[in-house]
Amino acid sequence: MKKRYLFTFIVLMGISLGIFLFSVRVSGLSSQNLASAPLGVERPQQQSFGLHESAVVELHGSGLDQDVRITLVHDSAENQSLVTTFPVMGLFNVSLVHNGILYLGSSVDGLKVVDIRDALRPRLLGEYLPGKSVQDIHWNKDFLYVACSGEGIVKFQTGKSRPLVQRDEIRTPFNVFKMKTIQGFLAVAGGAGGVVLYDDHGTRINQFMRSGVAVGLEVHCDQLYVYSLKKALVYIYSIGENGNEKKVGEIALEASVKDVKSYKDRLFLTTSEGLYEYDPAAIEKFRLQKRISNIGAGGKIYSGKDRLYVVDGFSQLLTVDPSFEVPYEKLFPTTDVRTIVEQGQYLYVTGLADGLQVLDTQLISRKDAARNIYPQGGVRDIYVDERRIFVAANKDGVLFSPRDSETDFERLSSRKSLFFKHDRGRLFVAQVDDGCEVFDISTPSPGTPRRIGLWPDIPALKFAVKGDLLITTRGIHGVSVYDISDLKKPVLLDTVAKLDKVDVFRVLGVAISGDYLFTACSDQGLVVFRLAENGELSFVAKVVPPFPMNQFLSAIDVTLSEKTAYVACSGFGVMVVDVKNPNKPTIKAVVDVDGVAKRSVIDDNRLYVSVQDDGIKAYDISKPFAPRFESFLAVHGISFGVQVVDDALYLARNFDGVMIFPVPVRVEEVNVISPERLRLHLPAVNYPGRYDLQVNSPTVSVTHDGVFSYR
């Protein structure tokens, strides 16, 4: 028995020793320098410089040596306008500001009253109607009307010793969704009860539109606009001094109305198809002025002094210039925006969490360099040429627009799309359920590209192209090769659906170099094939990471740089493989990206990796087998395709659109004065804005946000 235990102990010690030796041998798995002092960097003084101006600054800290890497990264922080958070808890349906007091209507806990006269120090004054579900709040003359689900309307007046004093109740046999004042009457959208008008004493004066389900209303140019859940219509009524109604028009839309807002003599509407502006000059001929259809499903509209705020179908907050001349922006102040109200220069926002957030509207402005594009539907991939940007959207198909435009997208195809591959002026498109399409985009002007191939019977996730051979990855169906010399009649030449007689062979990524095909297979690692001139595939080799690196097994993408393959894995990293001899590929390093790697691209000795929910991470690969972490761009949302064009990074962010920002700027000239002091010669930057300072050693990363500004 003792011999058996001794044998087991020796085996376990041997495995542990093997793991240790392997981790030491593989570059990048263990790069701790225990002898050096840990990196620490004091925040430098905030400074401003002119564009194209170089500067000299000093850093102070510990562990500062010639091995640190320093980068200027354009500040992509999406909450830089957030100035404070007030811990008022609840799920709120509606908010309203009156005389410096914020009223918050909770879906389960009544009404909360907050003093915001000192915007940076909100103060809770009181709570009313506990346990009630507040649907709307409205001021009419000197009274606050609070609509509660199933219980009618409670009428309050401001008190001397208390914020509010209850004066009356209006019992209603229906739920109240919205309240407005017109001709001195309180107009109520009562769902199946239609529209009801009440006088100052709570007496019912009129009731109409009973056949519809009135869920919202707005007053515009002395007319009452009512919308229903049942129809894609807005009904327009004139209300007389005695409370009688007269229908004077209607607006027909493509989808049911989400909200209607009167703003500066114009009327704005949202539907699931977008945001609309209408010209009310002629009621009987309501004319559509402008439309933004690429914001996703439109939701509630809120008005501020100089802009509109729209909550889209994904509960994200958009700021919209009412002229539509300035592209809108998305803000990320909280999760699932519920209510918005503007008071002075501040915006008060509530969501599913985070309490009451206060944003400075003076800081809500378009960055000069980093910007966003929001085509409708989830953006899965992008391709950018000299003049245009192409978007593969998994809802709206293939879209394109001039590079200098942010809203003017045209549709090339309505087929849901996932991936692009460009080759010799041709854009190959992998689609969700409809096979592939090919477009000629070689025209030098921004004119409409021409479709030259439609292959509904060729399923693909990704492509590689060699001459007239098209290689497609097909997930569980393996990898296929087609002859596309005749774009109208592609011919299948070969398919590999099994490997080593194993059915589990999911091919997700592909790249080609010479006569060799490199495939990223989720269950098999990196698999290499030889591609013959006749299109036949023959297995050459594969690389499956051994334990303890098997968390990198789920390969989903592969990128080649000369004789090195970088394999993005869903298991939190990138494998670096020497493929100089394709018959014997060898793992040389592993990069732990601390997230799910989705896609990668190489530019100027940099490997950019898009990481799910964590933006982009950049690595210096001037030494191909020893990648070195250099910088990161922390970006909200899921990241997919990434491309570098003219020192700008384009990142596909699914439902958050496309983000464009400057490539991080390396600080090449660094003088080490002591381990506690560095002198940096900051290079000139080409784009204005705030820049973060990122300092990285092999094991530690330090970031100071927004320390340098360039104008």
Which pLDDT band, with edges at 50, 70 and 90, does 338 fall under? Answer: confident
| Rounded Cα–Cα distance for residues 205 and 185 (Å) | 9
When mean pLDDT is compared across 99-108, 215-224, 569-578, the lowest value belongs to 569-578
Q: What is the DSSP letter of 253?
A: -
Q: What is the DSSP letter of 27?
A: B
Residues with Cβ within 8 Å of residue 150, at least 6 apart in sequence = 133, 175
Structure tokens at 667: 């600080």
Residue 667 confidence (pLDDT): 92
HEC letters along 83-140 = EEEECCCCCEEEEEEECCEEEEEECCCCEEEEECCCCCCCEEEEEECCCCCEEEEEEE
Average pLDDT over residues 223-234: 88
Instruction: Say whether pLDDT at 572 is over 90.
Output: no
What pLDDT digit, counting tens, does each position of 5-19 carry? 444 444 444 444 444
Helix (H) or strand (E) holding 483: strand 479-483
Instruction: Looking at 233-374, list the stretches that DSSP marks H as alpha helix, in order from N- to C-terminal side.
Output: none
Classified as helix, coil or strand, 659 is strand
Instruction: Say whether pLDDT at 581 is over 70.
Output: yes
Q: Which residue has the tokens 């003792």?
A: 2
Q: What is the DSSP letter of 664?
A: P
When mean pLDDT is compared across 79-93, 258-272, 337-351, the lowest value belongs to 79-93
Classified as helix, coil or strand, 149 is coil
- Which residue(s) pair with 693 in the sheet? 72, 704
Which residue segment(s) compose the domain that 108 sits in? 90-297
Residue 290 confidence (pLDDT): 62
pLDDT > 70 fraction of the chain, expressed in percent and rounded:
82
Instruction: Say whether pLDDT at 315 is over 70.
Output: no
What pLDDT digit, counting tens, does each position of 286-297 carry? 555 566 655 555
Structure tokens at 17: 């020793």
Q: Residue 347 falls within a domain, yes or no?
A: no
Residue 95 confidence (pLDDT): 94
Average pLDDT over residues 226-255: 89
CB under 8 Å, gap of 24 or more: what pairs does 330-335 form? 330/78, 330/372, 330/374, 330/656, 330/657, 331/78, 331/79, 331/81, 331/359, 331/364, 332/78, 332/79, 332/636, 333/79, 333/81, 333/82, 333/357, 333/359
* pLDDT: which is higher, 659 or 545: 659
Residue 291 confidence (pLDDT): 62
Q: Residue 680 falls within a domain, yes or no?
A: no
| Rounded Cα–Cα distance for residues 358 and 335 (Å) | 14
Structure tokens at 577: 């493989």
Q: Residue 248 falls within a domain, yes or no?
A: yes
CATH at residue 175:
2.120.10.80
What pLDDT digit, counting tens, does each position of 618-656 carry? 999 999 998 999 998 877 667 788 899 888 888 888 777
| Rounded Cα–Cα distance for residues 114 and 141 (Å) | 20
Q: Residue 711 falls within a domain, yes or no?
A: no
Residue 76 confidence (pLDDT): 63
Tell me which residue of 347, 352, 365 sits closest to 82, measured CA to CA: 347
Residue 7 confidence (pLDDT): 47
**Alpha-carbon torsion (552, 557, 560, 563), positive or negative:** positive
What pLDDT digit, counting tens, does each position of 354-408 carry? 689 888 887 665 444 456 666 666 788 889 988 888 988 877 788 887 777 655 6
Classified as helix, coil or strand, 384 is strand
Q: Residue 69 falls within a domain, yes or no?
A: no
Q: Residue 177 falls within a domain, yes or no?
A: yes
Average pLDDT over residues 321-347: 71
Tell me which residue of 501, 495, 540 sits closest to 517, measured CA to CA: 540
Which pLDDT band, with edges at 50, 70 and 90, does 88 fall under? Answer: confident
Q: Residue 362 falls within a domain, yes or no?
A: no
Burial of 115 (0-12, 13-18, 19+ CB in 10 A): middle
| Average pLDDT across the chain, whole number | 83
Amino acid present at 366: R
Q: How many domains does the chain have?
A: 1
CA 245 to chain centre: 45
Residues with Cβ within 8 Å of residue 459, at least 6 apart in sequence = 435, 436, 472, 474, 477
Q: Residue 41 falls within a domain, yes or no?
A: no
Q: Is the CB of residue 471 less than 8 Å from the CB of residue 481?
A: yes
**β-strands 47-49, 701-710 pairing:** parallel
Residues with Cβ within 8 Å of residue 264, at least 6 apart in sequence = 322
Residue 621 confidence (pLDDT): 92
- Would the pTM of this model clear 0.75, i.e. be above it? no
Q: What are phi and psi of 339, to 5 degrees?
A: -140, 150
Residue 9 confidence (pLDDT): 45
Instruction: Say whether pLDDT at 326 is over 70.
Output: no
Burial of 94 (0-12, 13-18, 19+ CB in 10 A): buried
